[in-house]
Amino acid sequence: MKNSKDVVVLVGSGSIGQAIARRVGAGDHIVLADLRQEAADSAAKILEDAGFEISTITVDISSRDSILKLIEHAQQFGQIKNLINAAGVSPSQAPVNAILKVDLYGTAVLIEEFGKVIADGGSGVIISSQSGHRLGTLSEEENYKLATSPTEELLNLDFIKAITDTLKAYQYSKRCNGLRVMYEATAWGKRGATINAISPGIIITPLANDELHGPRKDGYLKMIEASPAGRAGTPDEVGDLAAFLMSSHGRFINGADFLIDGGTTASYWFGDLQYLKATH
């Protein structure tokens, strides 16, 4: 090992992942992994300028081999104490197959493989989405299969292969994230570690800002204004929640999925945002 520090692995170099890493990575070695090297380098520069020790690596979480190479790289620096997964693709960014391979299968493999190496006292946080909470009730069999199927069989489940819509692919993926976190909590717990999911609503990031100034801005602004909070969230608010879950204060929390959406999902089902159901 190069210097045997605790290691924080951040997958996905966006604003939310950076906000979490800033809160849990001081004094540790942060491995910043992204599909695009230029994105990893850009985020690394920001964090290095703020005093953090960083190394970067490219990773494609839809590939188990790529994930294993990420783990091998991280272990050069010490024991893996924290996993932050903020990687993913949205319904407007990618086709159905890509969403399912990255957001559903890739995330499940990431949780599985890091669960084999996570340090005692360690913790993982998976950034999911409020979209997983907008999917209607699944059958008990569907829930069980999403939670417990061997990772290599997930994309071959009949009801997953039947998905043709990108939003549905995203919603099923995010529902699966929460279920895999519940399933893998047992294995993580046996290593003295915790694994939880966070499901943000609309959080102001560069990508979200583009949407709020783009052709669909009116719909987004209406949804935000009609939500109980009456505003969008910030990466720092998600970071604060993640920091709590990954700290000594969160050790009794394992296998959970936390909505942080300003009450938007509550309003979607029962409040002023029920009109959205017709479009979802």
Active site residues per annotation: 170, 174
Buried b or exposed e, range 240-278, using 16+ CB within 10 angstroms: ebbbebbeeebeebbbbbbbbbbebbebbeeeebeebee
**Distance between CA atoms of residues 3 and 20, nearest Å:** 23
**Distance between CA atoms of residues 76 and 256, nearest Å:** 30
The strand pairing partners of 30, in sequence order, are: 8, 54
Interacting residues of 246 by C-beta distance below 8 A, sequence separation 6+: 20, 24, 82, 123, 125, 194
- 3 state DSSP class of 166: helix
